[in-house]
Structure 1
């Protein structure tokens, strides 16, 4: 088995879930929007919660099917991870969506706003990696 098959399968499942959410519920699978929607009780609250629980069950499902947990290596400490998480959350609100909303769903819908957002996300990520490699 080549090392690319699991990633290809995961990407296909993400695309399928985003397409099904749009077809069946008329909703974009932007995770930040779904999480924000949990704070507002209403008609879509249960559906948003079910979708998010499905996302959280992905790793345990993998562990059950594969007989092991996915390998992860996190080299940063908790303070760095906390600051990074806050920055991502701030950027998500500032950009009116997250990478899943803009990158997976927005680009599929040919949204110009999503194209700009993805270019900014990717450009910022590239600059951050370049800066991280230059700094000691």
Structure 2
């Protein structure tokens, strides 16, 4: 594997990370909530009392590509090399993992690790390990 240095964009990655951290911090300080996307969606579908705040957070999250388009004048090119069946299986497995792990990568990896939660450290390590295995199986062994 080689790094395409011409496409390496550390400033956009850094600014994206800062925005994610700022949003997670704002949500924790203003609402006492963890910015876990799976929990946000589950609470929105369950019509909890704070559904408006959850909806606003998720709408802000999905508005990011439109804001990028307005600022940059073009959308980044996304290349997905998996077929529909593989994407469906991946989505179901991620959902199952988030349910079994009591949260997703944003809740555990961003917010939980910032709070130094041992449970989030274990969950994030499990997510990463599963990702490494999936890449090895699908990319290198052709499954």
1:43 positional shift: 2.3
Alignment equivalent of 1:26, drawn from 29, 32, 42:
32
Q: Give deviations 1:11-35, integer Å, cap 9, x for gaps.
A: 1100000000000010000000000
Distance 2:63 2:24 in 1: 16
1:77 paired residue number: 83
What residue is the counterpart of 2:9 in the other structure? 3
Q: Which residue pairs with 1:90 in the alignment?
A: 96
**Residue pairs, 1:32-51, within 5 angstroms:** 32-51=38-57
Task: Structure 2: give runs of 5+ residues left out of the alignment.
Answer: 1-7
Q: How far 1:38 sits from its partner (Å)?
A: 0.8
Q: TM-score, normalised by structure 2?
A: 0.90
Q: Please tell me whether residue 117 in structure 1 is matched to residue 123 in structure 2.
A: yes
RMSD, aligned CA: 1.4
Q: TM-score, normalised by structure 1?
A: 0.95
| 3-state SS of paired residue (2:45) | coil
Q: Offset at 1:41?
A: 2.3
| Number of equivalenced pairs | 136
